[in-house]
Amino acid sequence: MGTGHYFWALFYFASLCSASLANNAKINFREKEKKVLDQILGAGKYDARIRPSGINGTDGPAVVRVNIFVRSISKIDDVTMEYSVQLTFREQWTDERLKFDDIQGRLKYLTLTEANRVWMPDLFFSNEKEGHFHNIIMPNVYIRIFPNGSVLYSIRISLTLACPMNLKLYPLDRQICSLRMASYGWTTNDLVFLWKEGDPVQVVKNLHLPRFTLEKFLTDYCNSKTNTGEYSCLKVDLLFKREFSYYLIQIYIPCCMLVIVSWVSFWLDQGAVPARVSLGVTTLLTMATQTSGINASLPPVSYTKAIDVWTGVCLTFVFGALLEFALVNYASRSDMHKENLKKKRRDLEQASLDAASDLLDTDSNATFAMKPLVRHPGDPMAMEKLRQCEVHMQPPKRPNCCKTWLSKFPTSWLDIQCSRSKRIDVISRITFPLVFALFNLVYWSTYLFREEEDE
């Protein structure tokens, strides 16, 4: 008898379980979601115009926690001082009016695609220039309502944001671009924004920027006070470092090459006027074109940038090489004029010597006497002979020490010592490279040191 009762009890329990499972299998949880939504968002039950209460149902401000996911940064524009970013923006807050029964954990959350059905924080991006939502194929937005009344709002947006830049160290600079989010109408008495604890900002791993590298980012608060009250504000600072390799290949090395090419004229013959002039003018115009192209890609700021110092000094060196040839040409013509004067003077001296020898030959036919050396007052011919003899019988000048020392060098050095134009070329061959190397040493040590200080 006991065994029979036990058998019938097991059979009855198994029947109840199978019936319960059959009933659960017939439950449509999507219909349950509809009923729950109608229950919490039905007409006259929920007003989206009223903000939620504070923490634990108090009358304090509603707390909204924010986190963002940076999907891509398409460009950073130096001219307009702005950058474009695409991100997934999320907000989370608690609205106790939206609590519902989760049917023993079977309803994890409810999903909405219409943001106007529930109360939304009036957040806006304060440094935004342009922005748009993504609606392909469907609007990239959703709202999740959890059983405890927690609301999660997520949307994908693309923004063009202002980024004021300091270009004094360009292109050795670092820039900080901010993303600012603030409440437009609700003051801190009604609405407070907070960064989500843990990991408020995420960045895609394979983030690629053409000319910059994202070094790090920092989150902070930026509450603002106006005559209408204090408004909650969040900001994230993105620190970008400019990639220098591009500018080294496109700007610095070509400028160095132009400066070095302008020095080739120092090694050309001073008589090759067309070659030296065309070389100097060509390098000067090329350097000017390079400078104007660099400035066209930058905003017209009132201060001097590092690239301005570099291009300005390079342009000065090229212009100096052209002026050096003008100086060499002037010195060459001056040397030629002096040489012509010396030649005329030598011709006159030679003519004087010929005249004196003719005079001595004429007097040799007379009786030999000391007549040329005796001074007779009033005898003009004797005075002229005496003057010529004094001129040609002067003792030789003492040799110049410098000329004697230089005479030990090859003939080219003697020519250089005698010719000012050649001397200018030789001095320029040494001076220009040394000064340019000194400028490079000062330039790179100064700006790289300032870059480390800023970092």
Q: What is the pLDDT of residue 416?
A: 46
d(CA 115, CA 42): 15
Mean pLDDT across 218-247: 93
Structure tokens at 221: 């608060």
Q: Which residues have CB under 8 Å from 442's CB, separation 6+? A: none
Give CA–CA dist 257/250, Å, rounded. 12
Highest mean pLDDT among 20-29, 31-40, 139-148: 139-148
- Read off the tokens for 95: 């609205």
CA atoms of 73 and 160, how far apart (whole Å): 10
Average pLDDT, the chain: 81
CA of 273: how far to CAs of 153, 334, 432, in Å?
A: 76, 16, 20
- Our CA angle for 167, 238, 211, nearest 5°, is 55
Confidence (pLDDT) at 233: 95
Confidence band, pLDDT 50/70/90 cuts, at residue 43: confident
Residue 421's pLDDT is 76
Report how far residue 295's alpha carbon sits from residue 170's, in angstroms, rounded to the nearest whole number: 12
At residue 310, the pLDDT reads 95
- pLDDT value at position 119? 92
Dihedral sign, Cα of residue 361, residue 363, residue 367, residue 370 = negative
H/E stretch holding 379: none
Helix 306-363 crosses helix 253-262 at what angle (to 10 degrees)?
10
Confidence of residue 221 (pLDDT cuts 50, 70, 90): very high
pLDDT of 380 over the 90 cut: no
> Which two three-digit tokens encode residue 252?
């610095």
Buried b vs exposed e over 78-114: b needs ≥16 C-beta within 10 Å? beebbbbbbbebbbbbbbeebebebeeeebeebebee
Out of 110-114, 311-315, 419-423, least confident range: 419-423
* Percent above pLDDT 90 for the chain: 44
- Tokens encoding 199: 């990991």
> Averaging pLDDT over each range in 278-292, 400-414, 432-446, which range is the top one?
432-446
Whether residue 448 has pLDDT greater than 50: yes
| Structural element, H or E, at residue 20 | helix 2-25
Look at residue 222 and tell me whether its pLDDT is greater than 70: yes
Supply the pLDDT for residue 16: 54
Q: What is the pLDDT of residue 413?
A: 43
- Kindly indicate the confidence band of residue 38, based on its pLDDT and cuts at 50, 70 and 90: confident
Using an 8 Å Cβ cutoff, are 152 and 96 in contact? no
Distance of CA 320 to the CA centre of its chain: 28
Distance CA 193, CA 153 (A): 14
The residue among 73 and 41 whose pLDDT is bigger is: 73
Question: Residue with structure tokens 């039950």?
Answer: 45
- 454 band by pLDDT with thresholds 50, 70 and 90: low
DSSP 8-state code for residue 158: E
| Residue 257 structure tokens | 């090459």
Q: Which residues pair with 67 in a beta bridge?
A: 90
Task: State yes or no: pLDDT of 406 exceeds 70.
Answer: no
Give pLDDT tens digits for 143-202: 999 999 999 999 999 999 999 999 999 999 999 999 999 999 999 999 999 999 988 999
Give backbone dihedrals phi and psi of 170, rounded to 5 degrees, phi first. Answer: -55, 130
For residue 35, what pLDDT is reported? 83
Mean pLDDT computed over 371-388: 50
Closest CA to 198 of 182, 216, 179, 219: 219
Q: Which has more pLDDT, 441 or 408?
A: 441
pLDDT at 31: 77
Residue 113 has pLDDT above 90, yes or no: no
- Work out the percent of the chain whose per-residue pLDDT is above 70: 76
> Exposed, middle or buried, 219 (CB in 10 Å: 0-12/13-18/19+)?
middle
